Amino acid sequence: MNSTQLSYFTLAAYFDTGLFKYLFFIIAMFLYAMILCTNVLLIVIICMNRSLHEPMYLFLCSLFVNELYGSTGLFPFLLLQILSDIHTVSVPFCFLQIYCVHSYGGVEYLNLAIMSYDRYLAICYPLQYNTRMTSHKIAILIAVIWLYPLLACVIMISLSSPLQLCGNIIYKVYCDNYSIVKLACSDTSVINIYGLFATFGTIICPLILIIFTYMKILKVCFSGSKQTRQKAVSTCTPHLASLLNFSFGASFEILQSRFNMNSVPNMLRIFLSLYWLTCQPLFNPVMYGLNMSNIRNICKSLLFSEMYIPSG
């Protein structure tokens, strides 16, 4: 049957949890509220303080906006599914979620790659940093961070949505493009070839840039002064932690989609498949908020400003 004739997909990874579903709902709701509050707070802090209108913080702001985008593509739907007894999703909404989830991953990885390039310029070329990282260049880089993954996902959806499908059961808790492709009983060579090119553009190229920049940063650190090493550690630690965190979650998600993971307990598979969509939006605001002294100091002044108001 043709995918346009389907009215819904069934998400088979859900299982009956009885009254525990209310506990899971409260936990998911709390996590989503935390993601919204922390990311919105940091976006507002960066936008409202002119002292933070520097390249590093503008790229951070882009990262936090993406965390909100990716989380909103998952959590409202997840909350409804937790409470529901029938785990189905309409075909249009399924492809909408696929678009949100995949574009979130592409934007996240490109954003982290551009941030590593920014740190490379700041540490390796400190005197030329302002002339190399101009406002015009920042605007172009942020546009590339967002437009390339969004356009790549439009092409991906346009190739996968017309496929003839021989079933409508997806063994996940949210919609995933590769799960749709596995249901196809028509030729998938075009979408598979495109997937290789898209992977090269959104994962391999950014990874090459990240490896190159950190090799250069390490070279400067080993040959530079103690002050240079301290600057590199303070600015690169949160970025590296965020990169490793996201790469771990995304790698498991790719492995789970491509290979048989039936030997892994179902609950663990669900947790790890949600990890890359939930932990990063929770992890980044805390990591950057605690490690970036400018953001940390502004947060303290906002939270404890009443302590500094002189009494009448």
CB proximity list for 185: less than 8 A, separation 6 or greater: 164, 165, 166
In the prediction, which pLDDT does 225 show? 73
Q: Domains in the chain, please, with CATH?
A: 3-292 (1.20.1070.10)
Alpha carbons 179 and 168: distance in angstroms, whole number: 10
Counting other chains too, the contacts that 193-201 makes at CB distance below 8 Å and 24 or more residues apart are 194/155, 194/156, 194/159, 195/156, 198/152, 198/155, 198/156, 201/148, 201/152
Residue 161 scores a pLDDT above 50: yes
Give the angle subtended at the CA of 210 by the CAs of 207 and 213, to the nearest 5°.
150
Residue type for 82, please?
I
pLDDT value at 229 more than 60: yes
**70 touches 281 (CB < 8 A):** yes
Using an 8 Å Cβ cutoff, are 10 and 168 in contact?
A: yes
Token pair for residue 123? 């540490």
CA distance linking residue 62 with residue 108, whole number of Å: 9
Percent of the chain whose pLDDT exceeds 70: 90
Is the distance from CB of 240 to CB of 220 less than 8 angstroms? Answer: no
In this structure, the chain runs to a length of 312
pLDDT of 261 higher than 80? no
Tell me: pLDDT of 204 over 70: yes
Answer yes or no: is pLDDT of 4 > 50. Answer: no
What is the pLDDT confidence band of residue 262, given thresholds at 50, 70 and 90? low
